[in-house]
Amino acid sequence: MTSRERVRRILNHQEADRVPWHLSLTVDIYHRLREHLGLPPEPEKTIGIWTTVSPSLDLLDAMGVDLYYTGLQPPANWSAPATGDGLLYDEWGIGRTRVNRVDGGYYYEMVKHPLAGATLEEVEAWPWPDPYDPGRTDGLREKLLRIREETDKAIMFKSSTAIWEQSWWTYGMQDWMVDIVLQPDVVGAIMDKVTEVAVGMMEVGMEAVGDLVDIVRLSGEDLGTQLAPMISPKMFDAMVKPRFKRLWDTAREKIEQKQPEAKLMVHSCGNIRPFIPAWIDMGLDVLDPIQPQAQGMEPERLKKDFGDRLVFHGGIDLQQVLPNGTPEEVKAEVRRYIQALSPGGGYIVAPAHNVQSDVPPENLVAIRDAIEEYGRYPIAAGP
């Protein structure tokens, strides 16, 4: 099978020739993996705000990866403010500082939240991003047409921003978690504004390339800690669900118009199990990332309870196994997830988040090799 055929079968809860897989890399491990694979260096690779890079096709082919992931382009009519404070700003006004890791990698930590302590009037007057900025889709269709014509990869496309996460990023998490109770009018107003932007982005992106994509990925909506959800289901229903539903309904409408075979994915870390039934009812097809050390996210239980209605993406442990395990231990972890989630289709192997700089390249190659060894259908049972 081609990668696209393979992914589409799995998305439709059908078995394929083998289990497909996906890989998202931060910059340091990307370059080390290229070196490990004997691929030519790419010193000028563009780095995203999460220090991720878009892997070149030669690496995806060498690793046997089945999906190509991309999203909207940066806006053309915005530029970072000249503050002189050394922070990295985005179009939302959020300022980040670079934090160096002991292993030589780095990340950007949010330190300035532009709407911290804002009033309703300040929320209304804030210069919110323009979802219709022409830069967002400039050259995007040509890019995806090339991927469709020159490769057999399935395409995962992020066509919007987050609502829950993007909202508290503008406000600051600690105050957000307090004021969702004490000042729900302000919190709700921020989420309404963010939802307006998110819906506009979804419309723009899907109009441009919706007919070319296989998975429409909703941006990160982390609603769980490792122990429990960040908010109660009751609070979710009251404050978050109506905003999610508006965006998800827009996404589903565009999918039906542009590519009815495409599926809708959401990314949400942590223990989000209590939300899963509602999300399925809201039209969700694919759940990512299945954080393995979060309570309630055991793959065997997820498959048993939701596997007939939900496709799973992710699961391979980035907290312990990938950074600290041996290649043999990585292969055993991949085998466990394949055996738990793959029978009958419905599982795409992937690390449980962007791969960080502390992961040895050998352990990523071990994922590829484990899929080849254990991921052929029919899936063999084992210890």
Angular region, 367: left φ>0, alpha ψ -120 to 50, beta rest: alpha
The number of domains in the chain is 1
Q: Whole-number mean pLDDT of the chain?
A: 97
Predicted pLDDT at 381? 84
List alpha helices for 79-222, DSSP H.
120-125, 140-150, 164-171, 173-182, 184-209
Among 65, 64, 70, residue whose Cα is nearest residue 23? 65
With CA atoms as reference, report the closest residue to 106 among 114, 118, 98, 116. 98
Model pLDDT, residue 78: 96
In a domain, 257, yes or no: yes
Instruction: Give which of 52, 30, 57 is closest to 41, Cα–Cα.
Output: 30
Confidence of residue 179 (pLDDT cuts 50, 70, 90): very high
Is 380 a member of any domain?
A: no
pLDDT at 116 over 90: yes
- The answer to whether position 96 is within a domain reads no
Question: Which one, of 267, 143, 166, 167, lies nearest residue 215 by Cα?
Answer: 267
**What's the mean pLDDT in 20-38?**
98
CATH number of the CATH domain containing 9: 3.20.20.210
Query: 357: how many CB neighbours lie within 10 A of its CB?
Result: 21
pLDDT at position 103, please?
Answer: 86
105: in domain: no
CA distance linking residue 186 with residue 240, whole number of Å = 13
Is the pLDDT at 337 greater than 90, yes or no?
yes
Cα Rg of the chain (Å, integer)? 20
Q: What is the pLDDT of residue 115?
A: 98
Which tokens is 343 given?
A: 């029978």
Supply the pLDDT for residue 316.
98
- Supply the pLDDT for residue 104: 84
pLDDT in tens, 272-331: 999 999 999 999 999 999 999 999 999 999 999 999 999 999 999 999 999 999 999 999
Does residue 331 form part of some domain?
yes
Q: How far apart are CA 86 and CA 162, in angstroms?
A: 26
Q: pLDDT tens-digit profile of 180-223?
A: 999 999 999 999 999 999 999 999 999 999 999 999 999 989 99
Do 286 and 346 form a contact (C-beta atoms < 8 A)? no
The model's confidence at residue 60, banded by pLDDT at 50, 70 and 90, is very high
Domain that holds residue 245: 3-76+117-374
pLDDT band at 373 (very low <50, low <70, confident <90, very high): very high
Average pLDDT over residues 68-90: 95
Name, in order, each residue with C-beta under 8 angstroms of 98's C-beta and a sequence gap of 6 or more: 88, 106, 107, 108, 109
pLDDT tens-digit readout, 223-280: 999 999 999 999 999 999 999 999 999 999 999 999 999 999 999 999 999 999 999 9
CA angle 130, 132, 135 (to 5 degrees): 95
What backbone phi and psi angles, to 5 degrees, belong to 75? Answer: -65, 150
In a domain, 214, yes or no: yes
The percentage of residues in the chain with a pLDDT greater than 70, rounded to a whole number, is: 100
Determine, yes or no, domain membership for 381: no
Count of C-beta atoms within a 10 Å radius of residue 371: 24
Do residues 345 and 10 touch, judged by C-beta distance below 8 A?
A: yes
Q: What is the mean pLDDT of residues 71-98?
A: 96
Question: CB 87: neighbour CB atoms within 10 A?
Answer: 18
Taking 90 as the threshold, does the pLDDT of residue 383 lie above it? no
Q: Report the pLDDT value the prediction gives residue 382, as an integer from 0 to 100.
A: 73
Averaged over 357-371, what is the pLDDT?
98
CB 137 within 8 A of CB 72: yes
Cα separation, 186 vs 156, whole angstroms? 34
Whether 93 is covered by a domain: the verdict is: no
